[in-house]
Amino acid sequence: MKNIQIIDGALNCTFSIFQATDEEFYLVFPEPRQEIQYVEDLTALAVHDALRRIWQRPIRKRDAMGIHGTLFYKLERYKKYYHEKREDGIEPSAITVTQRKLFGIDW
């Protein structure tokens, strides 16, 4: 199972985590090494069916063994930072020096 954190624009956003099978995960995050997705970019019926199943599997943050992907809802403004849809592909000016070092980003 892979863990997906959900982030939306609501003031009461809980940053919840849900479990997905490998097959479901790759439907939502289809690109190689992809870790970031925007729900507005998901159009296939199979993906929406997978999301319905994923919503049935919440997991407590303390029980999650890592976060494998982040799904943004109505937060397309982050696309300017995550144009590669990977955490290490973030716009360098948006992160700290230590994060750039972690991701191997020369700036």
On whether the pTM is more than 0.85, the answer is yes
Average pLDDT over residues 52-58: 97
Average pLDDT, the chain: 93
Residue 17: pLDDT above 90?
A: yes
Rounded distance between C-alpha atoms, residue 18 and residue 62, angstroms? 12
| 46 has pLDDT over 90 | no
**What pLDDT is attached to residue 44?**
84
User: Based on the structure, what is the number of domains in the chain?
Assistant: 1
pLDDT digits (tens, 9 = 90+) for 70-92: 999 999 999 999 888 999 989 99
The rounded distance, in Å, linking the Cα atoms of 53 and 73 is 17
If pLDDT is split at 50, 70 and 90, which confidence band does 43 have?
confident
DSSP string, the chain: -EEEEEEES-TT----EEEE-HHHHHHHS-STT--EEEGGG---HHHHHHHHHHTT-EE-GGG-----EEEEES-GGGGGT-TTSSGGGS-GGGS-HHHHHHHT---
The Cα–Cα gap between 56 and 92 comes to 36
Q: At 53, is the pLDDT very low, low, confident or very high (cuts 50, 70, 90)?
A: very high
Domain of residue 9, residue span: 2-103
Residue 87: CB atoms within 10 Å: 17
